[in-house]
Amino acid sequence: MPLSEDNILLNLLVETVSIIPLDTIEPDRLSIKALRYLLSCTYEKEKPFATPEYEVFRYSAILAAKQVSNDAYEAIMERLPALEQTKNSIQASNKFIPDYQKVAKELEPLVEFINFSRIKGQILTDIIEPLEIAPSKIIMDVYRKMAKSSNLVSGEIRGIPFTMYKFKESDYVWDKSACGSKLIIEDNGKVVYAPNGCEQHQCVRAKMPLNCKGIFEWSVIIETHCVNTWVGVCASENFNYEKWVGQPTSRALGTDGNISDYNGGRSNYCPHFKKNNTKITVHLDMNKKTFAFSVDGTKYKEVSVKELPSKLYPVVSLYRHARIRILPYSIV
């Protein structure tokens, strides 16, 4: 059903949800009807959209299976790996899907708004087709088109890439569940503080996931600095918050003007800025996998972060007396 010009609320809801990766939304937060409406409003439309088409199918299948039974849901979760897991190798599970025909029936209202031609051929053959929940005619049509065209897949994501990802102001908080044991989070999550007993660098990440194409920008104010305070990004896994930020799954800028690298080393980036109330803005471009920093309004060069995983979080590293506030980026 197309969006009505006079239905402002629905329009805003679609625009808002479109730029949220579906894999970050719990399946019980959307109904089949709501997801169908979202997909119908963005199908073959020039609208910003955040989720690759395979993940659209995956989320739809998970939601459909959840309507059938917990066993079907668990089987689909095992049979459909996240897109990131398919990039190195595809090892499809052969776990039986109970009531797969019922899952296919629940999936029917969504299938017509999924563009299977945006999904890589190997994923179709090795993962999706063996499930027997997507109509074979649709799959075969895609195969025929692939046979006739060497560049059928024009892009993994429908619509147009959005240039700037906007979080709500309430999202800019430090995550207590991903925080060094000696750090203290204050002011409703906006401030992290390292007390006297914190004699070595520890880290805390923010709650905002940076895991889709687009440009992300946020700022921190180093209200009180320590000998060297660090601001940057880290992965969601294989990162130790009890240690300094210089780890294989992170990159960060220190107040000494150096950027940490993947093996614990450092390289010069900008002049040092060791003073209180310094404002640092991070400009992360997930389209190009680069980031840059602005220090008190002066922006410096872009640096590649292609070696990092596709799911990142804002992170800071601090110790004894340092105090850091996170806030949205704004142009004054």
Most confident of 57-71, 153-167, 212-226: 57-71
Residue 155 lies in a domain: no
Structural domain contains residue 102? yes
Encoded tokens for 15: 């625009």
Backbone angles phi, psi at 30, to 5 degrees: -125, 140
Contact 114, 107 (CB under 8 A): no
Is 105 in the same domain as 178? no
Q: Count other Cβ atoms within 10 Å, centred on residue 272.
A: 13
Written as six digits, the tokens of 89 are 């190798």
My answer on whether 262 and 300 are in the same domain is yes
* CB contact at 8 A, 253 and 259: yes
The average pLDDT across 52-77 equals 95
pLDDT in tens, 130-146: 999 999 999 999 888 88
Predicted pLDDT of residue 158: 84
Instruction: State whether 118 and 224 are in the same domain.
Output: no
Q: Would you say residue 1 lies in a domain? A: no
Residue 285 confidence (pLDDT): 86
What is the chain's alpha carbon radius of gyration, rounded to the nearest angstrom? 22
Burial 51-90 (b: 16+ CB within 10 A, else e): bbbbbbbbbbbbbbbbbbeeebbebbbebbbebeebeeee
Residue 159 included in any domain: no
Are residues 24 and 66 both part of a single domain? Answer: yes
Same domain assignment for residues 107 and 234: no
Q: Is 292 exposed, middle or buried (0-12, 13-18, 19+ CB in 10 A)?
A: middle
Domain that holds residue 117: 8-148
Q: Of 210 and 48, which is predicted with more confidence?
A: 210
In a domain, 156, yes or no: no
Q: Looking at the structure, do residues 188 and 256 belong to the same domain, yes or no? A: yes
Residue 213 pLDDT > 80:
no
Q: Are residues 53 and 175 in the same domain?
A: no
Give domain status of residue 158, yes or no.
no
The mean pLDDT value for 195-201 works out to: 92
Cβ count near 213 (within 10 Å)? 22
- What is the predicted pLDDT for the residue at 10? 78
Quick check: is 235 in a domain? yes
Secondary structure letter of residue 324 according to DSSP: E
Same domain, yes or no: 199 and 324: yes
Name the band, by pLDDT with cuts 50, 70 and 90, for residue 162: low
Q: For the chain, what percent of residues have pLDDT higher than 90?
A: 58
Please determine, for residue 17, whether its predicted confidence score (pLDDT) is greater than 80: yes
Residue 86 is assigned to a structural domain of this protein: yes
DSSP element (H, E) containing 104:
helix 100-111
Same-domain check for residues 143 and 225? no
Q: Are residues 126 and 36 in the same domain?
A: yes
What are the DSSP calls for 136-198, one per residue? HHHHHHHHHHHHH-TT----SBSSB--SB----GGG--EEEEEE-TT-EEEGGGTEEE--TT-
In the listed set 84, 113, 148, which residue is the last one of a domain according to the structure?
A: 148
Give yes or no for a contact between 59 and 44, defined as CB atoms under 8 angstroms apart. no
**174 and 129 in one domain?**
no
- Checking if the pLDDT of 7 tops 80, the result is no
- 316 shares a domain with 178: yes
- The residue that leads in pLDDT, 262 or 67, is 67
| pLDDT for position 91 | 66
Count structural domains, the chain. 2
Residue 322, domain CATH: 2.60.120.920
Count of CB atoms situated within 10 Å of the CB of 163: 11
Task: Compute the distance between CA of residue 142 and CA of residue 115 in angstroms, rounded to an integer.
Answer: 9
Can you read off the two tokens belonging to residue 321? 């007396």
Report CA-CA distances (Å) from 206 to 51, 159, 173, 200, 328: 22, 29, 6, 20, 12
Q: Please answer whether residues 21 and 211 qualify as being in contact, where contact means their C-beta atoms are separated by less than 8 angstroms.
A: yes
